[in-house]
Amino acid sequence: MPDKWKEKIIKILRWSERYTKTDMVYLTSGGFWLLLGQITGSIASLFTAIFFAYFLPKETYGVYKYILSIVGMLSAFSLTGLGSALIQATARIGNGFYKLAIKKSLRWALIPSFLSIAVGIYYLIQSNAAIGWGLIISGVLYSPYATFLLFSGYLNGKKDFRRMTLFGLVPDFGVLFSIIVALLFTKNVLVLISTFFISSIITNYIAHRLSLRVYPTSKTEIHPEEKLSKHLSILNIFSTIVSYIDKILIFHVLGATQVAIYLFANAVPDQIRGLFKIPGSLALPKLAKTPKDIKKIFQKQLLRITAIYGVLVAIYILVAPLIYRLLFPAYLESIFYSQIIAVGIIGSGILILINNGLQARHEVRSLYTLHVVQSVSLLIVTITPLFFGGSLLTVIVARTATTLIISIFGYLLLQYPTLKLFWFLRDNKIT
């Protein structure tokens, strides 16, 4: 593009800032790359799902995802808050925290590794070889898998969304290609689990090395975000368990086939939910560097954000039958479930923004209140229907309604600080 056209576009964006009170140049450039990254990641995820739907029986796919769900839930006991803390530390101070984050992640990720191996041994004792060995393999490979994912947070903190997207293509499509090749030759769960973890480790390590080549780390220093990462990790124990417990409980109560149907019902909504993370990804490094008055921002922007999310969800509900008939013809029973789940991601998108705003200001009490209320509520509405003879539909409706209600609570938490619990904790607000 000629320089004169670039200058004109920038002038137009700067002019619009007077009326939107938004850094439009940053929003446009960063938003483009994040949107591109989300689109390419969604394409990779959907192609993976399509190949699973065509080549793997529902029962086998349910077992495969059950193993990954157990590992995912056990990951709650590692230092999962490092990613968000890394973004803020890199944006506010510099490159030194990345090296420290890598070391801490490798060490703390050993906890879920050992737990996964222990649970795998239990399943072997119970004569369930597929799940047992699957968990042992996952445990052995988990630590490097979780650690090299941090490259994305490092580049996010540098606000280099272009490289974050381009480097992210390496694991996205590297894992996709590896899974496709494995599915063409085998339906063995253990081979598929091994393929997923090994290909993820190799491709994320490549992206990690590329990131270091562009932004070499400086001397390792202790940052305020190290303490924040511990708070966020404690909070993530609740949210991580809740995000995986539904698959595990459905597997045990309703069976592996129902897990597969449930996961494919989430397949497309999960990609829409990823789109809703883009505003938060753009905002977090900005807020970390120059924190805003979150309350005023949400008073002005929440209605507009909700309207945009609502339109996207409404469009999806209309086209969902066509999408599933084209991409997942073996899972047509997932269509209605998927439409209900889509309504709930309006609340999820709002909660992501609220959570990022509270993180940027280090409002510890509010973060604990929001995470605990959300996690406990979702846990109750997941367990109760299943253990009282409820169906998959009951669980989905209950979780969707609860997410919408919690998003309203999150907004009220911003408006009325008296709602904050955990009086024994101290906020470390950044002004």
Q: What is the 3-state secondary structure (H, E, C) of 265-287?
A: HHHHHHHHHHHHCHHHHHHHHHH
Query: In which band, very low, low, confident or very high, does the pLDDT at 23 lie, cut at 50, 70 and 90?
Result: very low
What is the per-residue pLDDT for 417?
A: 67
Q: What are the backbone angles phi and psi of residue 389, rounded to the nearest 5°? A: 80, 15
Q: Is 424 a residue whose pLDDT tops 80?
A: no
State the sign of the Cα–Cα–Cα–Cα dihedral 86, 88, 94, 96: negative
Lowest mean pLDDT among 44-48, 94-98, 310-314: 94-98
Asked if residues 393 and 377 have their Cβ atoms less than 8 Å apart, the reply is no
Asked if residues 359 and 367 have their Cβ atoms less than 8 Å apart, the reply is yes
- What one-letter code names the amino acid at 80? T
Residues whose CB falls within 8 Å of the CB of residue 141, separated by 6 or more in sequence, listed in order: 194, 197, 198, 201
> Alpha-carbon distance 25 to 16, whole Å?
10
Q: Is 265 a residue whose pLDDT tops 90?
A: yes
- Which residue do the tokens 């090749």 mark? 181
The b-or-e profile of 7-17 (16+ CB within 10 A means b, else e) is eeeeeebeeee
Q: Is 11 a residue whose pLDDT tops 50?
A: no
Tens digit of each residue's pLDDT (9 = 90 or more) over 339-396 = 999 999 888 888 887 777 777 666 777 788 888 888 889 889 888 888 887 789 999 9
> Alpha-carbon distance 270 to 345, whole Å?
8
DSSP 140-203: HHHHHHHHGGGHHHHHHHTT-HHHHHHHHHHHHHHHHHHHHHHHHH---HHHHHHHHHHHHHHH
Burial of 387 (0-12, 13-18, 19+ CB in 10 A): exposed
What is the per-residue pLDDT for 123?
A: 94
Q: What percent of the chain has pLDDT over 90?
A: 31
Q: Report the Cα–Cα distance between both ends of the chain, in Å, rounded.
A: 40
Q: Show me where the domains of the chain are located.
A: 22-419
Q: Is 218 a residue whose pLDDT tops 80?
A: no
What is the pLDDT of the chain when averaged over all its residues?
80
DSSP 347-358: HHHHHHHHHHHH
Token pair, residue 59, equals 């029962």
What is the per-residue pLDDT for 10?
A: 39
DSSP 232-246: HHHHHHHHHHHHHHH
Query: In which band, very low, low, confident or very high, does the pLDDT at 292 lie, cut at 50, 70 and 90?
Result: low
Token pair, residue 135, equals 């968990």
In Å, how far from its chain's centre is CA 359?
Answer: 16
What is the per-residue pLDDT for 231?
A: 66
